[in-house]
Structure 1
Amino acid sequence: MEFSPQGRLLLERRYLLPGERPHDLFSRVADAVGGPARSREFFSLVSSLLFLPNSPTLMNAGTASGQLSACFVLPVEDTLEEIFASLAHMALIHRSGGGTGFSFSRLRPRGDVVNGAVGAASGPVSFMRVFDAATEAVRQGGRRRGANMGVLAASHPDIEEFVTCKQAGGFPNFNISVGIDERFLRCLEKGAEYDLINPRDGSVSRSIDARSLWRLIAASARISGEPGVLFLDEINRRNTTPHLGAIEATNPCGEQPLYPYESCNLGSVNLARCIRQHDLDEDLLATVVRCGVDFLDAVIDVNRFPLPEIRARTLATRKIGLGVMGFSEALIRLGIPYESEEAIRFAGSLMGQVQAAARERSEELGAQKGSFPAIEGSVFSGDMRNATVTTIAPTGSLHLIAGTTSGIEPVFSFAYDRTIDGQPVSIESDLVRELLPETAGGRDVAEHVRRYGTVVGLPLDAHTRDLFKTAIEIAPDHHVRMQAAFQKHVDNAVSKTVNLPESATVDEIARVFSLARDLGCKGITVYRYRSRPDQILSLGCDVCRIDG
């Protein structure tokens, strides 16, 4: 079992128990999830790095905690008692290693009436500060800080304050997204006024120009990378359990829409390890997907839920989120440039196979063990063990353990610095050494890539240059089209960032948002290079020195 230096560091810092080796970790996880009947099979699955479950499963399986889910959504209702009850629940989830999402859209706006007193309400952004401060105080699972998603409906009277709240670097423990509805999109298309609604009584607070708000969202995203955008009506159009109500929020990275008190456990198939002899081994892929579904479904049954409400809601739908990582590495090994029509077609075909195999296995489990209890009224007419089966997570830590590229993202840089638990680590892609020549035009290729993070400037043929394009070199529209190609075959949502060069404009970002809407994405996030001083990834050695 071999790991890269950064993968081993991450394991030692976050995942291995005292005295534990990687082999012991995978054995602990397999025993806890599979029991005597399936521990050997599950050990083979995870120790081969063909599939890895989300971080809380790796950290907590077989321990006193036993909390194995990564994704939670909690309600935030419009009373002080309910707000602080959610705050306490958030702390419990963070302590167990989970991340939380919230919709703050039900809170009355700043300056509104409270118990007859005009101007007494502090508003959603003010309460978000309380949640952010509490997150800072509770270290996630004792090994990583908690993470949150804050969502506010575009129709909320405090929407401008929310959109701009991270421009000055505030709310370090929150990702934020604006919840967009069809009414806003119609006003945007017509250039019309958009009514902002007081959630306390449903009255129209005031009206704003929809295009001005759209531009404000894009301008703020240019400054800080946030907010993202959630297309809530699209999420609910494709909701497999619409009879349970409308979904208003997601987990911290946006890939898992959930009801209040619902949780989900995720896992990712390592596509790079499914490439055999320069081709995708479809039989191996299907086998790993089916076993991954079994693993994630078993996690639900052995999980120790942090709250009885979460247990009840999760067992009602039994949602799982199986996804992929290593997509970019797989493309490179197949000789397919990320920015190509062939890559878009491959993405759709690949994810279609994953979705079909996952659904088929969940249907079989439903027939064997029983369908999820809330199936009546859902979109399913036959057996189905899990209300959802697929999700594309960012795999920010898992891909380093697996030694591959993250999620469905293109390579950010072929040599970069990353901060892991406060420790800077220099990372160089093995793909450069394996697939590129040692020299080009008399230049040392590895040294050039180490210095700049890219092959730009090297005298390589056009196909090789295209094959080794980095995220910032890929057209924004293609990023969105790739996300949409996966989304067509995913039950939940897709976590992906449209990486933009430092020169990206507000208009370009607004076009990215609009294209995501047009192509059926459930959400979209952009990041303009160097728009944050605490950027996790930095390109090449020269830039690393500049960034300190």
Structure 2
Amino acid sequence: YQNANNSVRVNDEFMRAVEDGTEFGLRARETGEVIETVDARELFTKISEAAWACADPGLQYDDTINDWHTNPETGRITASNPCSEYMSLDNSSCNLASLNLLKFLKDDDTFDAPLFAKAVDLIITAMDISICFADFPTEPIGKTTRDYRQLGIGYANLGALLMAMGLGYDSDAGRAMAGTITSLMTGQSYKRSAELAGVVGPYAGYARNADAHKRVMRKHQAANDVVRTYSVSDSQVHKLATKAWADVLKLGEKNGFRNAQASVLAPTGTIGFMMDCDTTGIEPDFSLVKFKKLVGGGSMQIVNQTIPRALRKLGYQEESVEAIVEFIAENGHVIDAPGLKTEHYEIFDTAMGARALKPMGHVRMMAACQPFLSGAISKTVNLPESATVEEIEDIYLQSWKLGLKATAVYRDNCKVGQPLSGGKGENKGTDSNASSEAPEAAEPQVIEKIVYAPTRKRLPKSRVSRTTSFTVGGAEGYMTSGAHDDGELGEVFLKLGKQGSTLAGVMDAFSIAVSIGLQYGVPLETYVSKFTNLRFEPAGLTDDPDVRMSQSIMDYIFRRLALDYLTFEDRSMLGIYSAEERQRHLETGSY
């Protein structure tokens, strides 16, 4: 369960049975007849207990998902991607792209809605074009995607944007800003899609789904019409969104739509860092203080870069800003920060820590944005370690009532390892939903502790080896690789530089480390995936016809080892092919 994303799909009938405490019928897949009945509330509790124990499964709300489906005449939405944001037809795929919201915050701390709308136009156009040139893993996926042209525009850095604007993540004003931005994004996307349809035609499956597609557009518009705004900034965004949705209905009636879907909110865990975002996707900041690893070793403590701007927006003088930031750097939270007003604490609430957002704060933010998305939202509802099974049940129930398509929870420290964690003692904070009582879920009793001790598989005294001379960017070297009797790689020796030099010593030590790892069972594929594409000098042309260009000596070494010792199937998963295989692909289209 450590790295899995599992979800359970439930319908309204089941959720009503949970509320009423009645039984729910389990149906045969093919005939639809009820073959067994279960206590709905008991099953719901089992789901919640599992989520309490290991953060899986999340819930997906089937009737809500299909009520917002633009292509029901083609087929139901039966599943999603693992993160649960892309929900569409079977055998389809979605092209994702995200915008950094903080880049649209003007110097006067208002959101630049017209510029954002222009960016959406540009991105949607580019995303639609890219479908024509994309490759797909299977023929059915390629056909469905080209016929329905699903897109998934989204955004990142919402948490940082709200903080910079002086808005609490769990506040009505914060939710209004997030909702209006999401509405503008999707409205402008569908407007652009209708404009494209007027030039190059609607998607192939539009004709049979036209009524359903337009019905969903009206649902989006109706949701936009009831949004309440709280400031000049969100009013301006809402005004532009309202115009966009009016244009969507008008142009859609005339031209149809180029794309069956337009928007989702993806996690942006990787591209968020590339865009230099403080927060990812729709998430709030995880912690006000983070640690960044430095290239030369060591680490550097960084206070959320949005905090000074937020403090200035709130009217604090520069001396106070510096004092508050220094306090946060030392303590990791804002409680009792010198000069900071208590009414401003909520602006700096984070997912975990001494001022942790209440779990329902996460759910309410999702509910503010969900009506304006084609797909769903990939987001974690963070809970403290002390959270109970009953709290998770309530989150799942309220998420259904608020119209979410999917919900996932994460109780702090419920997995053996977790990607993010707060500082020392942070998670025993002041979250008002936290409870000191242990959950009623039965804990498994440890009867026997099994300790895994890895065994070293040494090579025989006499073994087959292969020596390769190579040149990378003008630098010469030698690699000797030894194998077990079954042909599996068991050792590597590298010679670069003069004997006794620093480089030669480092490469000797590296060779020993890799060899011992191989003998203790570390797969060669793991080394290859980690060390290929490392970029540093010397780099450039090589004298190896199978690896003509290399980004570094490490890149070359592990590509060569992959070609020598991995199967074609394993290499192809890593994108590594010989010169002969690449030539065959050019001539026949197949490796």
**Partner of residue 84 from structure 2, selected from 241, 244, 254:** 254
In the TM superposition, 1:106-505 aligns within 5 A as 166=1, 169=2, 172=3, 174-199=4-29, 202-277=32-107, 278-378=109-209, 379-380=213-214, 381=253, 382-404=255-277, 405-416=279-290, 428=302, 429-432=304-307, 434-435=309-310, 445-446=324-325, 448-450=327-329, 452-459=331-338, 460-472=340-352, 473-505=356-388
Query: CA–CA distance in 2 between the matches of 1:375 and 1:424?
Result: 56
Q: 1:467, CA displacement in angstroms? A: 1.1
CA distance in 2, matches of 1:317, 1:358: 15
Paired residues of 2:367 and 2:404 also in contact (CA < 8 A): yes
- Partner SS state of residue 376, structure 2: coil
Output the TM-score relative to the length of structure 2: 0.59
Q: Against the structure 1 CA distance between its residues 441 and 298, is the aligned structure 2 distance closer, same or farther, given a 3 Å change threshold?
A: closer
Matched, 1:536 2:415: no
Letter in structure 1 aligned against 2:17: C
- Per-residue CA deviation, residues 357-399 of structure 1 (Å, 9 max, x unaligned), is 1111110001111110000122245421100111111111111
- Higher mean C-alpha displacement, 451-460 vs 523-532: 451-460
Shift of 1:338: 1.1
After the TM superposition, which segments of 4 or more aligned residues of structure 1 sit over 3 Å from their partners? Answer: 200-205, 416-420, 423-427, 432-453, 541-544
**2:306 is paired with a residue of what secondary structure?**
helix
Alignment deviations for residues 438-492 of structure 1 (CA, whole Å, 9 cap, x no partner): 9999996556534553323434212431111112311222211110111111111
On the 8 A contact 1:440/1:458 being kept in 2, the answer is: no
Write the distance in 2 (CA, Å) between the matches of 1:346 and 1:440: 30
Name the SS of the counterpart of 2:386 in structure 1.
coil
Structure 1 Cα separation of the partners of residues 321 and 298 of structure 2: 31
User: Is the CA contact 1:338–1:467 (under 8 Å) kept in the aligned structure 2?
Assistant: yes
In structure 1, how many angstroms separate the alpha carbons of the residues matched to 2:26 and 2:99?
Answer: 43
Query: Would the alpha carbon gap of residues 384 and 212 (structure 1) be closer, same or farther in structure 2, given more than 3 Å must change?
Result: same
RCO (CA 8 Å, sep 6+): is it higher in 1 or 2? 1
Contact 2:163 2:310 in 1 (8 A): no
Contact 1:441 1:458 survives alignment (8 Å):
no
Structure-1 separation of matches of 2:44 and 2:64: 18
Q: Which amino acid aligns with 1:246?
A: R
Specify the SS of the correspondent of 2:9.
strand
1:9 aligns with none
Other structure's SS at 1:384 match = coil
2: CA distance between counterparts of 1:464 and 1:285? 28
Q: Alpha-carbon deviations, 1:310-365, whole Å to 9, x = none? A: 11010111000111111111111111111211111112222111122111111000
Is 1:452–1:541's contact at 8 Å kept on the other side of the alignment? no
Residue 584 of structure 2 is matched in structure 1 by none
Q: 1:434 to 1:374 in 2, by over 3 A?
A: same
Q: Identify if the C-alpha distance between structure 1 residues 376 and 441 changes in structure 2 by more than 3 Å, giving closer, same or farther.
A: closer
Residue 421 of structure 2 aligns to a residue whose secondary structure is strand
- Which letter does structure 1 place at the counterpart of 2:342? A
Q: 2:166·2:310 contact (CA, 8 Å) conserved in 1?
A: no
TM value normalised by structure 1: 0.63
Give the conservation status (yes or no) of the 8 Å contact 1:256–1:391: yes
What one-letter code is carried by the residue in structure 2 that aligns with 1:356?
G
Alignment partners' CA distance in 2, 1:361 and 1:211: 45
One-letter amino acid of the structure 1 residue matched with residue 49 of structure 2: A
Secondary structure at 2:73 match in 1: helix
Query: Radius of gyration: which is bigger?
Result: 2
TM-superposition CA deviations, 1:214-255 (whole Å, max 9, x none): 111112111111110000111111100001111111112110
- The percent identity for this pair of structures is 32
> How far apart in 1 are the matches of 2:408 and 2:146?
31
Q: Please give the secondary structure, in 1, of the residue aligned with 2:188.
A: helix
- Partner letter of residue 288 of structure 2? F
- The answer for the alignment partner of 1:509 in structure 2 is 392
On the 8 A contact 1:439/1:445 being kept in 2, the answer is no
Question: How much has 1:306 moved relative to structure 2?
Answer: 2.1
* Residues 1:270 and 1:358: Cα distance change in structure 2 (over 3 Å): same
| Contact residue 418 and residue 536 of structure 1 kept, 8 A | no
Unaligned stretches of 5+ residues in structure 1: 1-165
Between the aligned partners of 2:290 and 2:271, the Cα distance in structure 1 is 17
Asked if 1:524 corresponds to 2:524, the answer is no
For 2:299 and 2:39, how far apart are their aligned partners in 1? 46
Whether contact under 8 Å (2:69, 2:88) holds in the other structure is: no
Q: In 1, distance between residues paired with 2:369 and 2:293?
A: 29
Question: Counterpart of 1:313 in 2: which secondary structure?
Answer: helix
